[in-house]
Structures are given as C-alpha cells and as structure tokens.
Amino acid sequence: MKKLLGTTLFLLTSNLFASTFFSGEGGGALNFINNKAFGFDPAMTFSGFLGGQLTLSNSLSLQGEFSIQTADLIDNGITKEASSTFRINEISATFTKTFAGATHTLTFFKGYNESIGSQKFIQRRLGTEKFSSILTENYLGQNGISVYEVFGTGGSYSLTLRDKPLALGLVVSRNNENTEDVSQLNADLRAATSTRFFTMDFLSGLGAPLYTKNSSDEDVVLLIDTLYLHTGIDFLLGNKYSTSSLFCQCGFEYFPVKSSAKSKSHEWADTYILIEPRFKFGDARLQLSVFNIPKNKLGKSLLLEEGVGGDFAAFVETMYKNHRNYSAGLHCMVGFEGRQFTNIKDGDLKDCMNMKFCPFTKLEADNGELNIMLQANVTKFADSKPGAFKLHIGYKKDL
C-alpha cells in the first residue's frame, strides 16, 4: 500500500512540474534631473517593476507583480536609507476551462487586476498585441497610468467565445483605498473585442461606499446611501499597420447616481481623456495627441507631468543595424502646469505653459528593450527654473 501511494504521489508530482511554465516581464528606469537651470546639481530616482505568471496546469495559473519608486538617491546617498514606495501590484489565481463553445475564466485577486488602460484583459483573453500610447509608457507595471483602475480584493469571471473575437466579463471587488477613506464595493461589467480594424476594451459599473456612521454621526452596522457610476474605454480604430488610425482612452471614477450629504461630487477635471490620431508612412510614424489626465495619475509615466496639453511625436519605428532593431524620434509637447481642461484661462498661455522637446531612442539589447530619452523644458530654462533637463534610461525584458 505504501509503495502504491508513493508511486502515485511521484507520478502526480512529476506531471505537475512537467506542465509548469513561468513567463513574465521586468523593467527599471533611472531618472536623472538637474535641480538647477544653470550649473550642475543632479538628482537621481529609480522606478521599476517585476511581474510573472506561473502556469501550473492547463487550468490553473498564478500571477504576481510588484513595483517600486524611490526618492532622490544622490541626495540621500545610495548606501543610506532613501525613502521609497514599494507596492505589491497584483496577487491572483486564475482557473480556466473550455466548454460549451467558449473559454471560461475565473480569477481571485488582491491588488490591481487587468485595469482599463493596462490592456492585460484583452491581451490575455484575445491574444491582442499591445496598442497603448507611447505617452503613457512607464516602468511601474500595473501601477502605472490607467484610465480606470480595477483595484482591491475580489473576483472576476469572463467568457471568451471560441468562434468570435469577443470576451465578456463581470468583476466584483472591495476597495479600501478610495478617496473618501471608506471601503467601497464595486460591481463592473466589461466587454472586449479585437477585429482587423477595431480593438476595444470597455468597463462600466457602480461603486457603493460602505459607511458605518449615519448622517447624525451615529454608529450603524452598514449604511449604503450613495452610488457612483464609473467607466473606462480603451480602443483603436484601425491597426498598427494602417496608414492612419485613431487611438482613444477616456473614463471617470466618480459620477453620483444616488447622492447623499457625504457623496463626492463629479469634477470634469477628474475625467481621463487621451485622443491620438496616428499616421504611418513606410517606417515613419506621426502621432498627434491631446490629453487631460487627472492629477492623481501624474508622475507615473516618463513624459506626462502636466494634467492637460498636447504632443506631436515623429519617429522611425524600424531601423536595422548589426541585426538589431532600432527606433528613434522626437516629442514636441506643450503642457499647462497645475491645470485641467476646465480651468485654463487666457493668461495660462504665459504663466503656466511648459514647452518640451524630448528626443528618444529605443534599441534591442540582450533580448530586451533599452529606452533612452532626454527632456529639455525650454520654458523652464528660459525662466531659470529647476528641472529644465531630465534624462531617462530604462530597460524592459520578457522573462
């Protein structure tokens, strides 16, 4: 009996490890900032992430990801305790089964889970290539810029049709880190599709803050007297090979549909908008972008520092040298510091406008991608303000 049990356990363990597969992505970026308009007073920060998926069988996989952002490493000393923010972006388990003409996916998660803008959902369900904007490129993984963050503790179910490029889903989660410092229960529906000339990831749902005090500040077991509508969409009209295409992201988090004295009012300044027409001429690319990014999402990308503005990007996507893929280009960006699209005034064209020129290059290195970008803020330089010049050196690699 012991021999039979041992043989069975050995076979099960062998099959488990034989089918186990790991995949992932990691990256990091050093950001150099000159604190003086004239002279040399450098600061250096670091941002990075590491994530992966462990496939245990055809039906079960585990996902995890973390990110880190540091303060100035030079001022604090690299060997000293520089302040930093460490975050576990995602811990999740996914069960997948195919039957009745569809693939059914059940996920239990803590942290971020396939937020709108991360394009994780549409990549995992429909195998779509990433089509996000280079404006939102970051080295924080799922802690980067998102149209709407699916965040908290919860579960999701999705159904992906076998004969049609369509995925439908339901997400239920509880978020303890909302703007009101009150736990919030969220229920969301989402849909994604990917065809030759149209790709979309859409989510919409309701959030209910779970209060434990009533309007008279008396303790209660549970009070739900406010409902917020939230939504987000991420779509591309055309494709990466089209002569012209249109990329768009938009969404908001708090729109009261059932109000109380405690409810947060909707502010249009908190609406996320990114509209980006794209043009292709052989290997050359032109992209025109206008954006309004809520202030709580700024500081997570390499480029976006102002809440509202526009960008003109011209670059060559494919150049081969020594059997490596190179790309190089230039961003010409105008942004309005401390403003959103609802509070720009005529005087802001002079008082808070920043104009930046950002040459960049990307090249293959050790099966990964090296990204080098210089930011020259000509407005700050002309006004003798600090932070006129920045240098970003980042590297990403599939694991």
pLDDT by position in tens, the chain (length 399): 444 444 444 444 444 444 678 888 999 999 999 887 677 778 899 999 999 999 998 899 999 999 999 888 887 655 556 678 899 999 999 999 999 999 999 999 999 999 999 999 999 999 998 899 999 999 999 998 999 999 999 999 999 999 999 999 999 999 986 666 788 999 999 999 999 999 999 999 999 888 777 666 666 767 777 889 999 999 999 998 889 999 999 999 888 887 766 666 667 778 999 999 999 998 899 999 999 998 888 888 888 888 899 999 999 987 666 667 888 999 999 998 877 776 766 665 667 888 999 999 999 888 899 999 999 999 888 887 888 899 999 999 988
Q: How many degrees, rounded to 5, is the angle at CA 85 between CA 83 and CA 87?
A: 155
Gap between the terminal Cα atoms of the chain: 43
Q: Which of 247, 291, 28, 293 is nearest to 141 (CA)?
A: 28
- Count CA within 13 A, CB hemisphere, residue 80: 9
> Using an 8 Å Cβ cutoff, are 211 and 220 in contact?
yes
Q: And the tokens for 65?
A: 């990801």
Domains in the chain: ranges and CATH: 19-398 (2.40.160)
Q: What does DSSP assign to residue 269?
A: G
- Greatest Cα-to-Cα distance within the chain, rounded to the nearest angstrom: 86
Whether the model pTM is above 0.75? yes
Dist CA 210 CA 295 (whole Å): 25
Pairing status of strand 151-161 against strand 198-209: unpaired
Q: How many degrees, rounded to 5, is the angle at CA 180 between CA 174 and CA 181?
A: 65
DSSP 34-84: ES-SSS--EEEEEEEEEEEEEE-SSSEEEEEEEEEEE--HHHH-TTS---E
Dist CA 340 CA 362 (whole Å): 31
- Count CA within 13 A, CB hemisphere, residue 333: 27
Tell how far CA 72 is from the center of its chain: 23
Dist CA 66 CA 49 (whole Å): 6
Beta-ladder partners of 190: 169, 203
Dist CA 48 CA 50 (whole Å): 7
With b for 16 or more beta-carbon neighbours within 10 A and e for fewer, the 100-134 pattern comes to: eebbebebebebbbbbbbbbbbbbbbbebeebbbb
Dist CA 118 CA 148 (whole Å): 9
Tell how far CA 216 is from the center of its chain: 40
Which residues, 6+ apart, have CB-to-CB distance to 160 below 8 Å? 102, 103, 105, 125, 126, 166, 167
Which H or E element spans position 124?
A: helix 120-126
Structure confidence at residue 82 (pLDDT): 66
Q: And the tokens for 54?
A: 């462990």
